[in-house]
Amino acid sequence: MSNALTVRAKPALRTFSYGGGWQSTAALVLAARGDINYRSFLMANVGNDSENPATLAYVEHHAIPFAEAHGLELTVLNRTMKRSGGERRTLYQDLTRPGSRSLDIPVRMPNGAPGTRSCTAKFKIKVIGAELKRRGASVDHPATVGIGISLDEIDRANKRRCEPHERIEYPLLERGIRRTDCVRIIHSAGLPIPPKSSCWFCPFHRPEAWREMRRSQPKLFEKACQLEELLNRRRDALGKDHVYLTRFGQPLRRAIPDGADTLPFDEYDTGCDSGWCMT
| pLDDT tens by residue, 138-152 | 999 999 999 999 999
Confidence of residue 156 (pLDDT cuts 50, 70, 90): confident
CA distance 139 to 136: 10
Task: Provide the pLDDT for residue 193.
Answer: 97
| pLDDT tens by residue, 182-215 | 999 999 999 999 998 899 999 999 999 999 999 9
| Four-way CATH pick for 14-81+89-109+117-198: 3.40.50.720, 3.40.50.620, 3.40.50.20, 1.10.1060.10 | 3.40.50.620
Nearest to 13 by CA among 175, 140, 171: 140
Task: Provide the pLDDT for residue 8.
Answer: 55
Confidence of residue 251 (pLDDT cuts 50, 70, 90): very high
Task: Provide the pLDDT for residue 83.
Answer: 59
- What are the extents of the domains in the chain? 14-81+89-109+117-198, 205-265
Confidence of residue 278 (pLDDT cuts 50, 70, 90): low
User: To which H or E segment does residue 145 belong?
Assistant: strand 143-146
Sign of CA dihedral 50, 53, 57, 63: negative
Nearest to 171 by CA among 68, 13, 74, 35: 35
Task: Provide the pLDDT for residue 154.
Answer: 87
